[in-house]
Amino acid sequence: MKRLLFIADLHLDAADPLTLTRFEQFCRQHGRAADALYILGDLFEAWAGDDADDAAATTAHKALSDLRGSGTAILFLHGNRDFLLGERFIARCGGKLLPDPSVIEWYGQRLVLCHGDSLCTADVDYQALRQRLRSPQQRAALLARPRSERETLARKAREASRRAGANKPRAIMDVTPLAVESLLLEHDADILIHGHTHRPADHRWIHAGRTRRRLVVGAWSEQAEYVVGESGALTLRPFP
């Protein structure tokens, strides 16, 4: 795996054909030249189950399976919007689901990958909700409901999260430095790549004599910035 791409927070939505087109362009222009595409969560604005067949699902399926056909590996992490994304859809795209967080070794460096929501530990309400929703029992119970009910629940969850977010101070919606340090320490790594916060940046700092780095990819509804890894160097780049 030499050339790597990292994206997140595309929030693909049937109601937003422009982003669907940009994603197809991205796969063609950049995806094919890469050995692996890492999708760090929230590929979809919402995901109510692998029986989805709207324009977002079909566009992503087509773009990703074409990409896989050209030889690029496709790795998924769940986001908070699409944590119900299942093995069935991922396998149809020729991809593979990775746990959040995951560590990859690349040019002698250990890279920690995660969506980023688990690092927003100052948002106590959200963390409690996350824990409740992500249990295997809750997941199975949700997926057992009829599709129309799941879609209604997904819409309500989005509205509730938008309302909750509007009343929270900006700092609470960001990752906490302590959570970042603990994660890097736990995995004996110096580099973290994540999304979720929609605050694309390349942060560097020194901790215990080691240079740390946190690359944040951007949301496609705002400034779409992705990370490319080539020849051992990681760079944050805008798209288009």
Catalog residues that contact Mn ion under the rule CB under 5 A.
42, 79-80, 196
Q: How far is the CB of 156 from Mn ion (least distance, A)?
A: 17
Q: How far is the CB of 219 from Mn ion (least distance, A)?
A: 8
Q: How far is the CB of 209 from Mn ion (least distance, A)?
A: 33
Within 10 angstroms of residue 121's Cβ, the number of other Cβ atoms is 15
Closest CA to 229 of 116, 66, 109: 109
Instruction: Give the CA angle between residues 64, 113, 71 to the nearest 5°.
Output: 30
Residue number with CB closer to Mn ion (72 or 77): 77
Residue number with CB closer to Mn ion (196 or 199): 196
Residue number with CB closer to Mn ion (4 or 119): 119
**CA distances, 125 to each of 129, 168, 189, 196 (Å):** 6, 11, 29, 17
Residue number with CB closer to Mn ion (31 or 79): 79
Q: How far is the CB of 59 from Mn ion (least distance, A)?
A: 20
How does DSSP classify residue 110?
E
Residue number with CB closer to Mn ion (42 or 123): 42
The HSE-up count of residue 202 (CA atoms within 13 Å, CB side) is 10
Query: Could you tell me the strand order of the sheet in which 225-230 lies?
Result: 96-97, 73-77, 36-40, 4-7, 225-230, 233-238
Q: How far is the CB of 39 from Mn ion (least distance, A)?
A: 12
Largest alpha-carbon pair distance within the chain?
Answer: 54
